[in-house]
Amino acid sequence: MEEKSEQLRFAVLIDGDNAQASLLPRILAEVSKVGLITVKRIYGDWTTTNMNGWKASLHKHAIQPMQQFRYTVGKNATDSAMIIDAMDLLHSNNVGGFCIVASDSDYTRLATRIREGGLSVIGVGEKKTPESFINACNQFIYCENLIGPREMRVKEAKEAKSDMADPLNLLVEGFNLAAKEEEWIHLAALGSVLRQLDPAFDPRTYGHQQLQSLIKKYPETFTLKRDTSRKPPVVYVALTAPRSDVD
């Protein structure tokens, strides 16, 4: 119990109008990797049929449904209700971070304001999400990277490769920022810097489940070593030394 109390507490706020109910378990699992989820709320007009897909998940995952009627056609009242609640939670000082599940640029200013308050923001949305919202988050997770089963995730990642730029330049830039004058750096430190450079950086976008396997794709650029004397073992990364041709 003491260990849990030291974890960063997160509020997960879901825009039910533009999120997928089938991905809910994976979304919660992603947030649980970095903190303890203490608030789980989903917003929408529960009198409409498009929210039916969420109802089976509410009790199973102990999520509080927040009713928001659509008072005007064409206006999304869900955004406003979610933003108001987020600000109330921010000022309550009861959470240390937020997960905003949405693909809407309307949440850009909310994410920025939360970060201005010194709290962490994880965004979860589709690849169509505007860059403004993505870059306003500390970390952004694409829904497409959470799709299962495993075969489907691999298929999605391979299809995404044709649309995504090669990450090598970003990896090198991240290494240089993290290493400074050091030859070897923790692989975890590189991952942190990469998310600072690009909040949406995720090895799964390039068909790899872990950063380590993505780095292994570039043996001419990076070298990995594993320190098994540490418990648990620690992985380090360095730039591959240039080969000298000997006649």
108 and 223 share one domain: no
67 and 179 share one domain: no
34 and 122 share one domain: yes
143 and 28 share one domain: yes
pLDDT at 172 over 70: yes
Contacts 24+ apart (CB under 8 A), 45-54: 45/69, 45/70, 45/77, 45/78, 50/17, 51/16, 53/21, 53/22, 54/16, 54/21, 54/24
Asked if residue 227 is part of any domain, the answer here is: yes
Last residue of a domain, one of 95, 117, 147: 147
| pLDDT reported for residue 245 | 54
Number of domains in the chain: 2
pTM: 0.68
Average the pLDDT over 7-31 and give the result.
Answer: 89
Please provide the DSSP assignment of 100-151 as one string.
EE---GGGHHHHHHHHHTT-EEEEEE-TTS-HHHHHHSSEEEEGGGT-SSHH
185 and 91 share one domain: no
| pLDDT reported for residue 135 | 94
User: What tokens appear for 101 in the block?
Assistant: 């599940």
Task: List the CATH number of the domain containing 217.
Answer: 3.30.420.610
- Mark residue 16 as left, alpha or beta (left: phi above 0; alpha: psi -120 to 50; beta: remaining): alpha
| pLDDT reported for residue 16 | 86
11 and 127 share one domain: yes
By DSSP bridging, strand 97-101 and strand 9-15 are parallel
Task: List the CATH number of the domain containing 67.
Answer: 3.40.50.1010
| pLDDT reported for residue 31 | 92
92 and 186 share one domain: no
Asked if residue 97 is part of any domain, the answer here is: yes
| pLDDT reported for residue 62 | 87
Last residue of a domain, one of 118, 147, 176: 147
Cite the DSSP H helix spans in the chain: 2-5, 24-32, 52-60, 77-92, 108-116, 131-136, 150-161, 168-179, 187-197, 211-215
The pLDDT mean for the chain works out to 83
The pLDDT > 90 percentage for the chain reads: 40
Over the stretch 68-98, which tens digit does the pLDDT of each residue have? 766 544 445 678 889 999 999 999 989 999 9
87 and 183 share one domain: no
Asked if residue 76 is part of any domain, the answer here is: yes
The pLDDT > 70 percentage for the chain reads: 85
| List of residues 6+ apart from 212 with CB closer than 8 A | 187, 224, 235
54 and 110 share one domain: yes
Over the stretch 3-13, which tens digit does the pLDDT of each residue have? 444 789 999 99
User: What tokens appear for 41 in the block?
Assistant: 């709320």
| pLDDT reported for residue 164 | 60
Average the pLDDT over 56-66 and give the result.
Answer: 85
What type of residue sits at position 142? Y
Average the pLDDT over 137-148 and give the result.
Answer: 88
Chain length of the chain:
247
Asked if residue 6 is part of any domain, the answer here is: yes
Compute the distance between CA of residue 213 and CA of residue 46 in angstroms, rounded to an integer: 43
Q: Tell which wins on pLDDT, 148 or 209.
A: 209
70 and 131 share one domain: yes
Q: Tell which wins on pLDDT, 169 or 163.
A: 169
193 and 224 share one domain: yes
Over the stretch 206-239, which tens digit does the pLDDT of each residue have? 888 899 999 999 999 999 998 888 778 889 999 9
| pLDDT reported for residue 215 | 93
| List of residues 6+ apart from 14 with CB closer than 8 A | 24, 27, 41, 42, 43, 63, 101, 102
Asked if residue 23 is part of any domain, the answer here is: yes
User: What tokens appear for 193 in the block?
Assistant: 């810097």
Asked if residue 163 is part of any domain, the answer here is: no
Q: What is the domain range of residue 181?
A: 168-239
178 and 118 share one domain: no
